[in-house]
Amino acid sequence: MSGADLQATNPQETSPARPAGSGNASLAATAQVAGAVVELPSDLYIPPNALAVCLDTFEGPLDLLLYLVRRRNIDILEIDVAEITDQYVAYIELMQASQFELAAEYMVMAATLAEIKSRILLPRPEPEEAGEEADPRSELVRQLLEYERYKLAAEQLDELPRIDRELRQALAGLPDRRYERPQPAVQLSDLLEALAAALRQAELFEHHHVRGESISTEDKISHLLANLDRERFLPLVAMFDAREGRLGVVVTFLAVMELMRKALVEIVQPDGFGPIHLRLAGPGESA
């Protein structure tokens, strides 16, 4: 990717010059109807290749979270989970809207964040014992701090002077041909063995290529919307399909969270800790 390529995709460079009807206009349109849109506009003004750059830049959900935390200059110990969750979910939605196959880890993290958020928001039963209840954020904070340690360690490692970059082995010539530096003896069989090994490896490589799972939050949202109707409450547990495995559960959960955030569904929990039900939000209530 050349600098010019990237520059061209930089919204800061291109958006002011864009004519009406392009990205900026659709952005404004989206803002006006916010709360009523189910999908992100497909003509988002950031081209997918720019997003790819962003995605490649993060080494996973922890790295992305760390970025979100650090760019706000917040102490990790004082994370506002609600805010970070929103930004995080916004980011991965954006990725999905641009047809990126996100690693499942990103989904799992979204679910983890959502869970922490809900535990903070939900009324907690009175603590009976003197023992303090653990902060639901503590595990996440621990993970972030631990990851950051090694991220920094990796940067320090990269800064060490190393052979073939800052340093080179000093070598002088040998005085005459008779004292030519001896070379390793290699038999043809060594060579063939190496080749066979390389080919075997290539084969493994080929067959172990993991395919991204094809459950997207977007599809799941459409699916859930199709199953719900305004008159009827459906139990939350009915939304999950065990056959989709862990990822399916996570994606379904994300989809529900997303529908709630956009006020497209209502959540009803008739009894204190009873089953949770969903139904489509009424027309007047969504604003």
Partner 1 sequence: MSMALKATTLKPATLKPIVEALLLAADRPLALEEMKSVFDPAQRPGNGELREALASLAADCEQRGVELKEVASGFRLQIRAEHAGRVNRLWQEKPPRYSRALLETLALIAYRQPATRGDIEQVRGVAVSSAIIRTLVDREWIRVSGHRETPGRPELFVTTRQFLDHFNLGSLADLPPLGEIAETPEAIEAPETPKAVLNISDQFLVPFFEDVQIDDLSWKDHQF
Tell me which residues in 182-201 interact with partner 1 (CB under 8 A): 182-186, 188-201
Instruction: Kindly state the tokens that stand for 146.
Output: 């631990």
Residue 216 is encoded by which pair of tokens? 């997207």
Which 20-49 residues touch partner 1, going by CB under 8 A?
Answer: 27, 30-31, 34, 40, 44, 46
- Minimum CB distance to partner 1 smaller for 65 or for 280: 65
| 75-114 binders of partner 1 (CB under 8 A) | 75-76, 86-87, 90-91, 93-94, 103, 105, 109
Does position 287 bind partner 1 by CB under 8 A?
no
Cα gap 131→191, rounded to integer Å: 66
CA atoms within 13 A on the CB side of 39: 16
272 near partner 1, rule: CB under 8 A = no
Of 38, 43, 139, 150, the one binding partner 1 by CB under 8 A = 150
> Least distance (Å) from partner 1 to the CB of residue 18?
14
Count of residues in contact with partner 1, rule CB under 8 A: 101
Number of neighbouring beta carbons within 10 Å of residue 221: 22
Q: Is 10 in the site for partner 1 (CB under 8 A)?
A: yes
Q: Which of 55, 61, 81, 114 touches partner 1 by CB under 8 A?
A: 61
Query: Contact between 247 and partner 1 (CB under 8 A)?
Result: no
- CA distances 265 to 118, 129, 218, 278, Å, are 17, 37, 15, 6
CB of 130 to partner 1, least distance (A): 27
18 belongs to the binding site for partner 1 (CB under 8 A): no
CA distances for 111 relative to 92, 105, 254, 258, 270, angstroms: 12, 10, 7, 11, 24
Sheet with 277-280: list strands edge to edge. Answer: 234-235, 277-280, 265-268
